[in-house]
Amino acid sequence: MNASSDPSELNLASIQMVSTPKLNENLDVAASLIKAAANSGAQLAVLPEYFCLMGLKDTDKVNAREAPGSGPIQERLAAIAKENNIYLVAGTIPLEAKESNKVLNTSLVFDPHGKQIARYDKMHLFGFQTVTERYEESETIAAGNHPGQFKITVSEIEWYFGLSICYDLRFPELYRALGSVDCHIIPAAFTYTTGKDHWEILLRARAIENQCYVLSSAQGGLHLNQRRTWGESMLIDPWGQILSNLPEGEGFIQGTLSKDKLKEVRSKLPALKHRRL
């Protein structure tokens, strides 16, 4: 795995996609972008929500669901992580739920050996309706019940991450429940309508109030199902500054997490220690 020249820094990348209804096509695009990010020095890469399938119908993801721990999507993801010697936060994939007509919208994390080291099932399910738009994730997705987080060790330095997905971003109590982390990772497929007004504000708020980095990986463009997603994959520092972003289309952004920056922000404004609730 590529190493940062400074052991107190971690190089990471966020992949942005405009996924299609073709599963293998999406996996190939993801593999190509992850390889490019790894070749550019990324030690950890993140894929967006629904990266493997943006179906023509909401039920398409139910038909593509896999059992936990087995299936062609999970096997390909493990292979990609291993081939590129990289930690991979694999956006979301559809896993079997107790209800046969629904799936869990699940984020899996793989280590550079291709071993799954963490899992998070999306807890908050998006619902939105206007005259021209309607989304109701609860019709095809079962909600998860537990927050997600993971830890990695690189050059004897431990890095702590929180996992959340898209609509979770609107629920700050979830991030408080996860406690102190170095970085919150947020795969998403924000709609254009909500994204243009709320996406950046919410991401920066989560970074500022938790005094940590936030790395989001987004869908960003017009999909074949005529859904338009907002894009703007971002890396934000603990002071709320945007370090890198990709407005729209396929590609990736790259940046570093710094232990020194985390310590600086938390020492000059120790808000996390000032909490009363």
The residues annotated as belonging to the active site are 49, 122, 166
Separation CA 213–CA 258 (nearest Å): 9
Residue 82 three-state SS: helix
Nearest residue to 14 (alpha-carbon basis) of 251, 263, 275, 265: 251
- Cβ–Cβ < 8 Å for 114, 82: yes
Separation CA 149–CA 210 (nearest Å): 15
Tokens of residue 233, six digits? 């994959």
Strand order from edge to edge, sheet including 242-246: 148-154, 157-163, 183-188, 213-218, 233-236, 242-246
Cβ count near 276 (within 10 Å): 3
Separation CA 266–CA 30 (nearest Å): 35
Nearest residue to 274 (alpha-carbon basis) of 213, 209, 212, 226: 209
Cα angle 178, 109, 117; round to 5: 85
- Cβ–Cβ < 8 Å for 186, 214: yes
- Cβ–Cβ < 8 Å for 139, 58: yes
In this structure, are strands 141-142 and 93-96 parallel, antiparallel, or unpaired?
A: unpaired
Listed in sequence order, the residues at least 6 apart from 197 whose beta carbon sits closer than 8 Å to its beta carbon are none
